Amino acid sequence: MNRITTLELKNMKERGDKIVALTAYDALFAEIEDRAGVDLILVGDSAAMVVAGYETTLPITMEQMLYHCSIVSKAVKRALVVADMPFLSFQISVEDAIRNAGRFLKESGVHAVKIEGGSVMLETVRTLVQLGIPVMGHLGLTPQSVHQFGSYEVRGKDEVEALQLLKDAKLLEDAGAFSIVLEKIPARLAGEVSHSLKIPTIGIGSGPECDGQVLVNYDMLGLYNKFKPRFVRRYLEMAKLVEDAVQCYCQDIRSGNFPSEKESYS
């Protein structure tokens, strides 16, 4: 079983092979996803919402992300593991970004980090790459900027923003990013960006012309029910299955049906 690398992702784009990406936040899901054939596992700062119950991704800390990354990395044998750098772990200074990105690779065992933002992050991206830290970019809807945007609406719909996104994507590629996440932008724009780059794009809510796709695993499995974005395809209604199972468990205990004689020791 060959480990997926940043170079292999680029080769996949050149061959026209679609890249399969999914989030994971714990060892159990990471192991299942890896065994099932996922190419890239993103330990997303979305853990703040789907694991910790916050309304945005902003509250999660470096220490919390290092914990999630560490337990995911230990479980993964094949997929490339990428750590989402949390809010204010890379924006304050390039030195902060180096220190924190280095911690992800040294302490948690991930293979790369993801950084939100375009031209304003170029010096940071370039420096990290020069130091041997692979960087994935993230353009379009960048959740850490939700308060600036004022909503989770589609980005890049007007010509000015679309042109800036195209420019930022090329600048990130030139700075050494090995891939770029394109989140919630028009499908036509995502296709234009994807065809203009030599590095792969990973879409989320950005149409079929990206070189790969990523979803939050709890969304794809129907486990997170607070909202369902239009771009999410649910392959399971896991929340309902778990709720039904727990109700049966409650009923069996209260009726005396569990544990049975076979489930007890003599």
Residue 1 in this model has a pLDDT that exceeds 80: no
pLDDT of residue 152: 86
- Asked if residue 186 has a cis previous peptide bond (ω within 30° of 0), the answer is no
Mean of the per-residue pLDDT values for the chain? Answer: 97
- Asked if residue 208 has a cis previous peptide bond (ω within 30° of 0), the answer is no
What the chain holds in terms of domains, given with CATH numbers, is 6-235 (3.20.20.60), 237-266 (no CATH)
pLDDT band at 227 (very low <50, low <70, confident <90, very high): confident
SS3 171: helix
Q: 33, 116, 173, 183: which is the annotated catalytic residue?
A: 183
Within 24-111, strands assigned E span 40-43, 80-84
Q: Higher pLDDT residue, 227 or 22?
A: 22
Exposed, middle or buried: residue 256 (CB in 10 Å: 0-12, 13-18, 19+)? exposed
Residue 153 among the catalytic residues: no
**What would the pLDDT profile of 85-106 be if each residue is shown by its tens digit?**
999 999 999 999 999 999 999 9
Q: What's the CA gap between 29 and 201, in Å, rounded?
A: 24
> Across residues 190-201, what is the average pLDDT?
98
According to DSSP, residue 117 is labeled B
**What would the pLDDT profile of 107-129 be if each residue is shown by its tens digit?**
999 999 999 999 999 999 999 99
pLDDT band at 149 (very low <50, low <70, confident <90, very high): confident
**What would the pLDDT profile of 150-164 be if each residue is shown by its tens digit?**
888 999 999 999 999
pLDDT of residue 228: 87
The one-letter amino acid at 102: G
